[in-house]
A = this chain, B = another copy of it.
Amino acid sequence: MLLSKSCVYGLRASLYLAAREQGEFVPIRKMSDKLEISFHFLTKILQQLTAEGILESFKGPNGGIRLKRTGSDVQLLDIVLAIDGSQLLTECALGLPGCGLKNPCPLHDKWAETRDSIHEMLEKTNLTELVHKGKAENLRLTTEGGFDILFDD
């Protein structure tokens, strides 16, 4: 798989937050219910994103999680790097150490090109952009439900 499950959950949760009112703290329990992700597992992932300064948390009643920056200021790449790290975008396709530093492998040129296109896609796509699209076309963030599930509280 391109992205780890943790990373995918992180992306789904971030999109969910970006789709809600800016400034509103959303409890993790609510997110885990809506997005059909295990509460405890999601909690851990959100902790990583909070530690990286992408999300912000608040404890106690009326607490929860929200975006720290605006959705248009968070690129998919930020989330992928925070959770999966940079391996996908730096590693050798044949698993050899030091891609780009040492003598390359036969696949290097072609892979570097493909890898750059992945990098560019992640770097140039922000949350708000996807949320607009998702709202307009009622796309899904979960197995069944459309984007509208985010709003029926």
- A83 CB to nearest chain B CB (Å): 13
29 A-B pairs with C-beta separation under 8 A: A1-B88, A2-B88, A2-B93, A3-B95, A8-B95, A11-B94, A15-B106, A76-B107, A94-B141, A97-B143, A102-B140, A103-B138, A103-B139, A103-B146, A104-B140, A105-B139, A106-B131, A106-B133, A106-B134, A106-B139, A106-B141, A106-B147, A107-B125, A107-B130, A108-B139, A110-B121, A111-B121, A114-B121, A117-B117
A44 adjacent to chain B (CB < 8 Å): no
Partner pick for A5 among B12, B93, B95, B125, CB 8 A cutoff = B95
Nearest 3 A/B pairs, CB to CB: A106-B130, A106-B134, A8-B95
The answer, yes or no, to whether A62 is at the interface (CB within 8 Å) is no
Q: Identify which of residues 80-132 in chain A touch chain B, using a CB-to-CB cut-off of 8 Å.
A: 87-88, 91, 93-97, 102-108, 110-111, 113-114, 117-118, 121, 125, 130-131
Q: Whole-angstrom distance from the CB of A6 to the nearest CB of chain B?
A: 11
Q: Which of B8, B87, B106, B121 contacts A113 (CB 8 A)?
A: B121
Interface residues of A in 138-153 (CB under 8 A from B): 138-143, 146-147
Task: Kindly provide the distance from the CB of A87 to the nearest chain B CB, expressed in whole angstroms.
Answer: 7
Residue of B nearest to A95 (CB): B8
From residue 6 to 38 of chain A, which have CB atoms closer than 8 A to chain B? 8, 11-12, 15
Contact B103 A8 (CB under 8 A): no
Are A91's CB and B142's CB within 8 A? no
